[in-house]
């Protein structure tokens, strides 16, 4: 039996929790999720939670933590309805799920918005999107084309292109110099090779060149990663510049990044978001660096480059799921915007 993290809420809840489904009309994909509302008697402001990269469930469950469940519980108790949903590629293989790009996922978020817009208990004049990591790219994509989006919350969302972020990660996550060389080779292959099968072959060739054909353990471990690394999703993410959408966002924006985030570096990305919003002539935005917070908004003691395995160990062993300070900031900001 899995051990429950301290912040994970325990049912029965003091609010209404409903299983829901809605359809992306563009390709017919049916999304399943959970809608929480304070009660059935009124119309409430609402927020859609959009997960980060990779196939995630509606709780954005990772290494024993359920951050979206924690966020949903806190916001609903603060009088805000929350919709969270399973990614379209949740439980798919990396090869199959990797065919869907950020744009496909943005279509799902738009479908979630349309579903809430027509819900009897939702004030459709005030529906926003809160996206974590890649979700922070998806939120401005939707808001840039849907003027009814009332607000955006970017949680560790990128303002820079995936190429800029990924090239730095290839260095910061590497165990040693060989890891840096291999990571840089892989990124170049993804950028240059449009065919998925050829990308995989070239990446394996780069692996053999860097580590040798007899590095069996490393080959075994990388076998489970290569479909995601070589995926259409990854190639699109590296080539896409979030500023293209941020420059068209007119609604209020709250952009938060953790001081110790080494996946989406705070200062550079928040600066890029802010510069894009200025181009959009958007003056209603707030950007904040959260002290001692990592990419998951857990409070930790140090940042700086570290191998991916060490970073995941940090995520798993930290008992805090999501900073209570950030939970309060989100709830207070949404309610302030709603009252305005």
Domains of the chain, start order: 16-160+242-339 (3.40.50.1820), 163-236 (no CATH)
**pLDDT attached to residue 108:** 98
**pLDDT attached to residue 1:** 57
**pLDDT attached to residue 307:** 78
∠ CA 254-260-263, rounded to 5°: 80
Give the whole-angstrom CA distance, residue 7 versus residue 90: 24
pTM of the model: 0.95
* Contact status, residue 113 vs residue 124, Cβ threshold 8 Å: no
- Give the bridge partners for 285, in sequence order: 253
* Contact status, residue 102 vs residue 133, Cβ threshold 8 Å: no
**pLDDT attached to residue 178:** 83
Task: Say how many C-beta atoms besides its own lie within 10 A of residue 188's C-beta.
Answer: 14
Give the whole-angstrom CA distance, residue 147 versus residue 150: 8
Instruction: Report residue 238 CA to chain centroid gap.
Output: 15
Give the whole-angstrom CA distance, residue 174 versus residue 18: 43
- Give the bridge partners for 155, in sequence order: 132, 256
Give the whole-angstrom CA distance, residue 107 versus residue 85: 13
Sheet holding 285-290, edge to edge: 16-23, 30-37, 81-85, 44-50, 122-132, 149-155, 253-258, 285-290
Cβ contacts of 95 within 8 Å, gap of 6 or more: 227, 231
> Which residues in 249-262 are b (16+ Cβ under 10 Å) and which e?
bebbbbbbbbebbb
Long-range contacts of 185-189 (CB under 8 A, 24+ apart): 185/209, 185/210, 186/229, 187/163, 187/238
* Contact status, residue 242 vs residue 137, Cβ threshold 8 Å: yes
Name the residue among 128, 133, 134, 140 with its Cα closest to residue 102: 134
Name the residue among 30, 53, 32, 252 with its Cα closest to residue 140: 252
* Contact status, residue 293 vs residue 44, Cβ threshold 8 Å: no
**pLDDT attached to residue 245:** 98
Q: How far apart are the first and last CA of the chain?
A: 46
Question: Which pLDDT tens digits describe the chain residue by residue (340 residues)?
Answer: 578 899 999 999 999 999 999 999 999 999 999 999 999 999 999 999 999 999 999 999 999 999 999 999 999 999 999 999 999 999 999 999 999 999 999 999 999 999 999 999 999 999 999 999 999 999 999 999 999 999 999 999 999 999 999 888 888 777 778 888 888 999 999 999 999 999 999 999 999 898 887 787 777 777 888 999 999 999 999 999 999 999 999 999 999 999 999 999 999 999 999 999 999 999 999 999 999 999 999 999 988 888 788 899 999 999 999 999 999 999 999 999 998 7
Give the whole-angstrom CA distance, residue 141 versus residue 276: 13
């Amino acid at each position: 039996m899995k051990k429950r993290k301290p912040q994970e809420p325990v049912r029965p809840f003091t609010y209404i929790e409903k299983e829901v489904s809605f359809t992306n009309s563009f390709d017919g994909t049916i999304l399943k999720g959970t809608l929480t509302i304070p009660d059935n008697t009124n119309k409430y402001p609402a927020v859609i939670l959009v997960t980060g990269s990779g196939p995630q469930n509606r709780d954005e469950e990772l290494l024993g933590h359920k951050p979206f469940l924690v966020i949903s519980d806190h916001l609903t108790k603060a009088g805000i309805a929350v919709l969270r949903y399973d990614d379209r590629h949740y439980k798919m293989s990396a090869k199959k799920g990797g065919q869907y790009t950020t744009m496909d996922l943005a279509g799902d978020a738009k479908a979630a918005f349309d579903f809430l817009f027509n819900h009897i208990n939702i004030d459709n004049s005030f529906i926003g999107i809160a996206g974590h990591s890649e979700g922070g790219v998806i939120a401005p994509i939707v808001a840039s084309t849907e003027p009814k989006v009332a607000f955006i919350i970017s949680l560790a969302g990128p303002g820079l292109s995936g190429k800029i972020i990924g090239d730095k990660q290839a260095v910061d996550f590497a165990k040693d110099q060989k890891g840096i060389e291999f990571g840089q080779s892989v990124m170049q292959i993804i950028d240059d090779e449009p065919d998925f099968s050829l990308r995989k072959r070239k990446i394996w060739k780069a692996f053999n060149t860097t580590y040798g054909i007899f590095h069996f353990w490393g080959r075994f471990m990388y076998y489970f990663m290569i479909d995601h690394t070589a995926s259409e999703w990854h190639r699109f993410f590296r080539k896409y510049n979030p500023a293209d959408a941020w420059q068209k966002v007119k609604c209020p924006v709250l952009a938060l990044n953790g001081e110790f985030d080494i996946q989406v570096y705070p200062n550079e990305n928040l600066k890029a978001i802010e510069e894009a919003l200025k181009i959009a002539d958007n003056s209603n935005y707030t950007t904040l660096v959260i002290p001692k917070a990592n990419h998951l908004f857990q409070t930790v003691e140090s940042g700086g480059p570290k191998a991916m395995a060490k970073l995941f160990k940090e995520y798993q062993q930290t008992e805090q799921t999501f900073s209570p300070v950030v939970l309060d900031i989100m709830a207070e900001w949404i309610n302030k915007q709603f009252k305005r």
